[in-house]
Structure formats: C-alpha cells, structure tokens
Structure 1
Amino acid sequence: MDHNDTSRRHVRITASGGKADVEIDGKRVDPRAVGAYTITQIVGEPAHVLLHVTDHGSDQWSGMARVSVTDVPDPGPAAAVFLDAIDPEALEHAALARPDLGTEPHSLTKAMLTQLGEWARGI
C-alpha cells in the first residue's frame, strides 16, 4: 500500500445499531450503495477505509480509485480450532439452561448451535 498518496479524502461514518451513514468529503453516500465497510489503521499512518459497494446506486461511483483484490479466507480452519476448544459438558449445560430452549424436535441441537454462535461472537 502506498502511504505517500496525497489525494486523501475525508470520510465520516456514523453508525447506530445496524445502520451506518457514510459521507465522503461532506457528500452523503446512498446507503443502498454500501453493503459493508472496514476501517484499518497502522499506528502513525492515516486510516484506510474500504467500502464494499453494491449494485444499488452505482451511478454514484465514478472517477479513479485504488482497487485491492483479495480472497475471502476459508472459515473452516478457524471454526475447527474454535470447536476443538469447546468443552462438551459446558456446552450441554449452557444449552439446557437457555431460556429459549424449546420442546420441539431438534430444539437441543438448535440451542447448542445458538450457544456456540454466541460464544464465537463473545456474547
């Protein structure tokens, strides 16, 4: 990445709940045009904002841009490490203690998957 680029833009992101408003150089970006965004920063360097654009509002995007192409990482190895670290007894106790545990078929499996998802997200 070229950190000496002098064509910097002012980006403002205001997030609340599951929604975010994005402005570039004071101009609001159509919320339908941005599917996601990531912000990274190396200490001592300007922040790097990556907007994941959608097909909506495509007439809004014109001009020059620096494009990075990456592969989406395979979640399998990370999921395997996470699952290997799970204590089966703790999972069973947590799932059985859930207030949303139902009585329908497969409700224990559903509760365990929900519990694993919450643990994976740090909840």
Structure 2
Amino acid sequence: MDHNDSPRHHVRITARGDKATVEIDGEWVDPRAVGAYTITQIAGEPAQVLLHVTDRGSTRWSGMARVSVADVPDPGPAAAAFLDAIDAEALERAALARPDLGTAPHSLTQAMLTQLGEWARGV
C-alpha cells in the first residue's frame, strides 16, 4: 500500500515507567485522551504510530486520519475451550489448598474462580 501522498507528522512519545507523554507536531496531547499507543515500522518505510484515543481529556482531535474499526472478539468460545480443558479434581484440590481459602459462604467457589483466573493468566 503506497502512503507517499499521506501527510507526515512529527510524533514524540516519552515513556517513563507506566506513564507516557505524547506530542504531535510539537503540541502536547492530554494523557487522559490516549488509552494506548502502538508503534510499528517496516524496514525502508516510515514508522506508523497508532493512538487508541479515549473520550476523556482536554485534547480536541481534528483533521483527517485513516480510521480502522475493529470488533472486540467474543470471549465465549475461548472461555469455553479453556473450561473444557480443566480437570475438576485438580481444580478442587488446588482451590482447597489455597492459603486464601476462607470459611464464609461461597468461599470455595471464590477460591475456584480465583484459581481459574490464575491458570488462565499462566500464574
């Protein structure tokens, strides 16, 4: 895809720990207006910066942009596949061995849900 006729902008991102500041053509962008950013570059091509904008912050967006709309994937099929792979005996054993298992009503269910979440995250 040839983007040689696309306008070029100077983007500066300064990241420190979990915070980042963004400037476009020397103009500061309110950090609350950017939920995330991605920078990609193919060898021999200009870098592309993708800003995931939010509806918060004081920044007013104007001008032209290439816009892509993506659907958030349905988590149901992935969750179903994950749950189908769970060994019920292993889950019960792990939940009962948890140090945070309480004695209040529904404590075992909470321990199982916590355990499943940890397994899903690879913890």
What is the TM-score when the length of structure 1 is the normalising length? 0.74
- The answer on 1:111 being equivalent to 2:120 is no
Deviations 1:38-58 (A, max 9, x none): 537476466654332222225
What is the CA distance between 1:114 and its match in structure 2?
0.9
Flag structure 2 segments of 5+ consecutive residues without an equivalent: none
Output the aligned Cα RMSD.
Answer: 2.7
Question: Which range moved further: 83-92 or 55-64?
Answer: 55-64
Deviations 1:46-89 (A, max 9, x none): 66543322222253422222110111111000111111111111
Q: How does 1:1-80 map to 2 (within 5 A)?
A: 2=1, 4-5=3-4, 7=8, 9-12=10-13, 14=15, 16=17, 19-25=18-24, 27-34=27-34, 36-37=35-36, 39=38, 41=40, 44=43, 48-80=48-80
Q: Name the CA distance, whole Å, in 1 between partners of 2:11 and 2:68.
A: 20
What is the TM-score when the length of structure 2 is the normalising length? 0.74
8 Å Cα contact 2:39-2:47 kept in structure 1: yes
Question: Which range moved further: 88-97 or 36-45?
Answer: 36-45
8 Å Cα contact 1:21-1:29 kept in structure 2: no
Flag structure 1 segments of 5+ consecutive residues without an equivalent: none
Instruction: State, as a whole percentage, how many aligned pairs show the same letter.
Output: 63
8 Å Cα contact 1:39-1:50 kept in structure 2: yes
SS of alignment partner, residue 24 of structure 1 = strand
- The answer on 1:120 being equivalent to 2:117 is no
Larger radius of gyration: 2
Distance 1:43 1:77, change over 3 A: farther
